[in-house]
């Protein structure tokens, strides 16, 4: 399976894990849909058709997309079904639209029940394969990503595919120093866990996967949670958790770090990255590593979470790392996740550039935070804007020459704070536009005339800067108030709301409207509304609005393009919102009326970029970095690897050398600023800006 799990809190939407409330009886017997699931499917289809931002048609085109998405969610690696079995399912390809409206989910269960039978046979084949010696001298190669590979014509072809899968995994373990006996033991445990994973699936899990195959065909941020998942999600969102501080989800066979929670141990270590795979977990400083490839996220979380003060060790592997890359080892002390520690920080940096001395005020903003409860009470409350305002006043008092705001890895947060923060650098004016599904456009304004800081300003962003970060950076750029450097931002320009389906399906009046009731106020879950003895139906998250810059351009897909692009091995379209096949399109609305308040001109940008490009060509360290990143870019696009030990060993060495180049451009809280190439180069560009401003 893929894209089916989430443990807690994230700014980028994903699907959710099943919370096991009791120990089920596992078996390979067929699973069947329930009457409640039929009811939910029909309601969700109609509700989304009425209230989702995108006005989609329930027709044969959508039917084909949903069916393909579901097949990919069941067997995305094309390692279980044969071509003839897939053709046997073609009869449903253009009938799913009718099934969605009627609530018929039988086709989904037919596919999954066959998958379970196929897995049972495949598990037996793997166990037999591991009982024999593995050949590490073969000249065969292995295709890592098989999502576009042709379906195998026979079971014999599938056997050959699995011979390569097992040998490739064994090679990775061998290159990591495991003995032959340890390799066999690890792989046996891994595939026994796979079998447990398949056996654990219940009717509601299949249903959730199918509904999400529908929702992800509309847009990647719309999703459905079955009742047990929704209940667990709400509990975890309301509790103080102790652990490492990460949002996790299943991605294929791996447990992936989807988000790093500001204020948690992983965030403060600076050594983990979004989209890293956790491949093994160990307890304390002496415990043995437990391989968790193939585990469900909720099972893996039991190993990763723990009491405050205890130690957990992780083996992390970048999701874009070439095959054979050695996992990184990370030691963390578990502690209570303290979001209050995820606040903006500042420092003053003295730098000599072109034989001149400069004093730069650096502000790091990990998220846009605001204590809404204290704000409603009317007292003093903590917020991003208040904290940054204090920093700016301190900078002015100490005579800084320019200000650099670091928004790297900032996934967003409070829209109010993005607007108010913009107001510290401009006089009053529009900051962002919002358009609803009814096409009504509202403009959000900064109403404060005071400009707290009017000097040279630069914003550093990367591919993980999203949502509120993009609103702030986009406004600063549109007002010509500052220079944006780094990578293109993520490109998420949509707004979601959460709907508790119990409010509708347990209400006779609402249910009779088949989803045609008002969606107003659906951002709050229904708690204590008198449904204690009623059926539970889960929760639906849907996209209801889009964001637009004051120029009328959307941040959707295109994000915020930097004025000066720093070297990167990543194509903007392979990492952000634009990498999602069903992401809502980029579009525009009318421009707001605003007056440019800065002195950043195209001529000035060209001058700064010329100076930076000159350093790229003459600075030995930068020249080496660019070459290493280009080599890494070629290497990471490679999809076929040798199954020969000696060749694979050489491939691994090349991979590790080029991974070091990627580390140089990654933000690391645990390293000095001198090790952070993006930060040091941004400081130099800011010095050039200061010089030209004078």
* pLDDT of amino acid 673: 54
CA distances from 424 to 371, 413, 476 (A): 19, 18, 11
In a domain, 610, yes or no: no
- Pair 44, 187 in one domain: yes
In a domain, 576, yes or no: yes
Q: Which residues are identified as catalytic? A: 467, 478, 492
Q: By mean pLDDT, which of 43-47, 57-61, 219-223, 570-574 is the weakest?
A: 570-574
CATH code: domain of residue 259: 2.30.42.10
In a domain, 205, yes or no: yes
User: Tokens 């098989």 label which residue?
Assistant: 146
- Pair 42, 142 in one domain: yes
* pLDDT of amino acid 233: 61
In a domain, 683, yes or no: no
- Pair 98, 208 in one domain: yes
pLDDT exceeds 70 at position 3: no
Q: Give the chain's count of helices (H) and strands (E).
A: 22, 21
Instruction: Name residues whose C-beta falls within 8 Å of residue 295's C-beta, 6 or more positions apart in sequence.
Output: 193, 197, 255
Q: Domain count of the chain?
A: 4
pLDDT exceeds 80 at position 187: yes
Last residue of a domain, one of 336, 359, 378: 336
In a domain, 381, yes or no: yes
- Pair 331, 376 in one domain: no
In a domain, 616, yes or no: no
- Pair 409, 515 in one domain: no
pLDDT digits (tens, 9 = 90+) for 298-333: 788 888 888 889 999 999 988 777 666 778 889 999
- Pair 184, 53 in one domain: yes
Q: By mean pLDDT, which of 89-103, 351-365, 633-647 is the weakest?
A: 633-647
In a domain, 66, yes or no: yes
pLDDT digits (tens, 9 = 90+) for 617-673: 999 989 988 988 888 888 878 888 899 999 988 888 777 776 777 777 877 544 445
- Pair 366, 274 in one domain: no
- Pair 200, 179 in one domain: yes
pTM attached to this predicted model: 0.84
* pLDDT of amino acid 624: 87
Last residue of a domain, one of 336, 367, 386: 336
* pLDDT of amino acid 532: 47
Q: By mean pLDDT, which of 89-103, 246-260, 518-532, 643-657 is the weakest?
A: 518-532
The residue ranking higher by pLDDT, 187 or 193, is 187
Last residue of a domain, one of 336, 357, 392: 336
pLDDT exceeds 50 at position 83: yes
Distance CA 206, CA 121 (A): 20
Q: What is the mean pLDDT of the chain?
A: 86
- Pair 322, 362 in one domain: no
pLDDT level of residue 533 (50, 70, 90 thresholds): low
Range of the domain at 415: 343-493+547-596
- Pair 379, 476 in one domain: yes
- Provide the strand spans (E) within 561-627: 564-565
Q: Are 119 and 127 in contact (CB under 8 A)?
A: no
- Pair 351, 332 in one domain: no
- Pair 449, 553 in one domain: yes
Compute the C-alpha angle 451/453/455, nearest 5°: 125
Q: Are 608 and 689 in contact (CB under 8 A)?
A: yes
């Amino acid at each position: 399976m893929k894209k089916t799990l989430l443990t807690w809190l994230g700014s980028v939407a994903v699907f959710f894990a099943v919370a096991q409330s009791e120990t089920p009886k596992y078996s390979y017997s067929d699973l069947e849909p329930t009457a409640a699931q039929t009811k939910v499917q029909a309601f969700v289809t109609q509700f989304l058709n009425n209230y989702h931002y995108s006005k989609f048609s329930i027709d044969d085109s959508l039917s084909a997309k949903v069916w393909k998405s579901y097949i990919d969610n069941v067997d995305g690696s094309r390692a279980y079904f044969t071509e003839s079995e897939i053709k046997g399912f073609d009869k449903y390809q253009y009938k799913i639209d009718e099934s969605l409206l009627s609530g018929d989910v039988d086709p989904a269960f037919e596919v999954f029940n066959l998958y379970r039978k196929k897995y049972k046979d495949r598990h037996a084949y793997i166990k037999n394969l591991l009982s024999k010696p593995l050949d590490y001298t073969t000249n065969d190669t292995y295709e890592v990503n098989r999502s576009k590979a042709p379906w195998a014509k026979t079971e014999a072809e599938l056997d050959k595919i699995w011979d390569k899968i097992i040998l490739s995994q064994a090679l990775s373990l061998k290159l990591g120093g495991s003995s032959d006996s340890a390799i066999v033991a690890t792989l046996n445990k891994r595939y026994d866990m796979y079998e447990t994973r398949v056996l654990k699936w219940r009717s509601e899990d299949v249903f959730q996967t199918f509904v999400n195959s529908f929702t992800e065909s509309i847009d990647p941020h719309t999703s459905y949670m079955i009742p047990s998942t929704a209940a667990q999600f709400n509990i975890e969102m309301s509790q103080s958790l102790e652990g490492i501080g990460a949002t996790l989800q299943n991605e294929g066979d791996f447990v992936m770090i989807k988000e790093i929670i500001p204020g948690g141990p992983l965030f403060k270590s600076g050594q983990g990255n979004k989209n890293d795979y956790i491949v093994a977990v160990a307890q304390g400083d002496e415990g043995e590593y437990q391989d968790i490839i193939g585990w469900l996220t909720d099972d893996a979380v039991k190993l990763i979470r723990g009491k405050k003060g205890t130690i957990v060790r992780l083996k992390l592997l970048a999701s874009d790392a070439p095959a054979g890359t050695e996992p990184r080892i990370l030691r963390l002390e578990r502690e209570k996740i303290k979001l209050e520690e995820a606040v903006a920080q500042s420092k003053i940096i003295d730098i000599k550039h072109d034989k001149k001395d400069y004093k730069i005020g650096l502000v790091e903003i990990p998220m846009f935070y605001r204590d809404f409860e204290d704000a409603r009470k009317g007292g003093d409350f903590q917020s991003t804007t208040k904290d940054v305002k204090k920093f700016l006043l301190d900078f002015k008092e100490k005579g800084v020459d320019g200000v650099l705001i670091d928004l790297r890895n900032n996934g967003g947060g409070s829209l109010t704070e993005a607007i108010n923060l913009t107001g510290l650098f401009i006089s009053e004016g529009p900051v962002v536009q919002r358009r609803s599904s009814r096409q009504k456009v509202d403009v959000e304004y900064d109403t404060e005339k005071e400009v707290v800081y009017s000097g040279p300003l630069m914003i550093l962003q990367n591919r993980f800067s999203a949502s509120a970060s993009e609103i702030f950076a986009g406004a600063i750029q549109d007002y010509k108030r500052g220079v944006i450097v780094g990578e293109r931002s993520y490109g998420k320009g949509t707004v979601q709301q959460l709907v508790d389906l119990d409010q509708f399906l347990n209400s006779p009046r609402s249910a009779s409207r088949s989803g045609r009731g008002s969606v107003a106020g659906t951002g709050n879950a229904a708690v204590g509304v008198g449904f204690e003895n009623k059926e539970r139906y889960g929760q639906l998250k849907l996209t209801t609005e889009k964001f637009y810059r004051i120029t009328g351009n959307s941040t959707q897909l295109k994000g915020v393009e930097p004025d000066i692009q720093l070297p990167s091995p990543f194509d903007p379209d392979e990492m952000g919102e634009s990498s999602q096949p069903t992401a809502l399109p980029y579009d525009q609305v009318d421009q707001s009326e605003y007056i440019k308040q800065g002195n950043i001109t195209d001529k000035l940008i060209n001058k700064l970029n010329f100076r930076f490009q000159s350093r790229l060509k003459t600075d030995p360290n930068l020249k080496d970095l660019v070459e290493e990143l280009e080599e890494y870019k070629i290497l990471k696009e490679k999809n076929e690897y040798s199954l020969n030990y000696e060749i694979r060993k050489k491939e691994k060495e090349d991979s590790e050398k080029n991974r070091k180049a990627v580390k140089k451009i990654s933000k690391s809280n645990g390293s000095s600023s001198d090790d952070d190439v993006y930060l040091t180069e941004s400081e130099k560009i800011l010095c050039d800006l200061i010089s030209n401003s004078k």
